[in-house]
Amino acid sequence: MALLGTNGAGKTTLLRILATLLVPTSGAALVAGYDPVHDPAAVRRHLGHHAGTDLGFYPRLTGRENLRFFGRLNYLSDAVLRTRIAELAERFELVGALDRQVRTLSAGTLQRLSLLRALLHQPKVLLLDEPTRSLDAIGASEFRRFLKTEVHLHHGTSILFASHILPEIEFLADRVVVLKEGSLVAFDTPSALKSGTGSSSLEEAFFRLTGHSVHSPEEVRPV
């Protein structure tokens, strides 16, 4: 499921509420059947969270040391961690980066390392905030394919992600939540959003739903 909205619409805030990092002023939510406000520990047992900006690693530790530390804090044994790290690092093409200090890794590598960490304890629900922000086109495409096939289809993990990249949303999301200034304005499949607004693309549908004017390509003239 994708969260779509302009800057400041509340996508990150919603993800952080579900990740138990913020307490909502009103409303209720359930993550994997648990309430993030009243039962945050249970929510965290079933949750993987990958933030878009601060990826949160210890820069002077290696990737493997960081993963082991956070994995152990999620009650994974050393034996399980060894297997999971090896397996996921192979798929994420991170094997060569595991034994390097995190401060020497590129932004894209860190992004993948952060997702690997979020998946270590095989969470039922994965929250991703702009997961492909720092990846190049090939890396982003690989990453999306991995999320869809391995994480969602193979492991059955539910994914809720915020993104501004509409093709990414169309590729990954069964349903889209459209937010505007903290309120939900639409919730449907990408094709239903398009047909419901009489739009030919998800971009057009998004513009219509959020009250922005749709510009035709002809209106954009070279200067």
Partner 1 sequence: MTQTLRNLVLFFERDVRIARTYRGPFVLELLEALFGAALFYYVARFVDSPELRQALPQGTSYFAYSLVGFVFFDYLNAALDTFDRSILEARDAGTLEPLLTTQVSLTTILIGSAIYPFVVTTLRIAVYLAWGAFLFDFPLRAANWLTVVVVLLASLLAFSGLGILSSAYLLLFKRGNPAKWLILGVSSVVGGMLFPVSILPDWLQVIAHLNPITYALDAMRAALLDDATVPSIARPVLILLFFAVILLPVSLATFHWALLRTKVTGTLTHR
- Which spans of this chain sit near partner 1 (rule: CB under 8 A)? 13, 16, 19-23, 25, 41, 44-45, 47, 49, 51, 53-61, 65, 69-70, 72-75, 101, 117
Q: Quick one: DSSP state of residue 31? A: B
Helices 107-119, 137-146: crossing angle, 10 deg rounding: 10
Closest distance to partner 1 from the beta carbon of 74 (Å) = 5
58 vs 187 by CB, closer to partner 1: 58
- Residue 111 or 197: the one with the smaller Cβ distance to partner 1 is 111
Q: Please, which residue, 56 or 96, has the CB nearer to partner 1?
A: 56
Q: How far is the CB of 53 from partner 1 (least distance, A)?
A: 8
What minimum distance in Å lies between the beta carbon of 133 and partner 1? 15
CA proximity to 162, closest of 21, 64, 44, 16: 16
d(CA 31, CA 80): 25
Give the nearest distance from C-beta 62 to partner 1 in angstroms.
Answer: 9
Looking at the Cβ atoms of 33 and 56, the one nearer to partner 1 is: 56
3-state secondary structure of 14: helix
Identity of the residue, 97 or 202, whose beta carbon is nearer to partner 1 in the bound complex: 97
Evaluate whether 61 touches 69 at the Cβ level (below 8 Å). yes
* Closer Cβ to partner 1, 20 or 197, answer by number: 20
Least Å distance, CB 68 to partner 1, is 9
Pairing state between β 183-188 and 176-180: antiparallel
Give the other-Cβ count within 10 Å of 149's Cβ.
11
What is the distance between the alpha carbons of residues 89 and 11, in angstroms, rounded to a whole number? 29
Cβ at position 203, least distance to partner 1 in Å: 30
Exposure class string for 96-106: b at 16+ Cβ within 10 A, else e: ebbeeebeebe
Contact (CB, 8 A) for 69 and 58 = yes
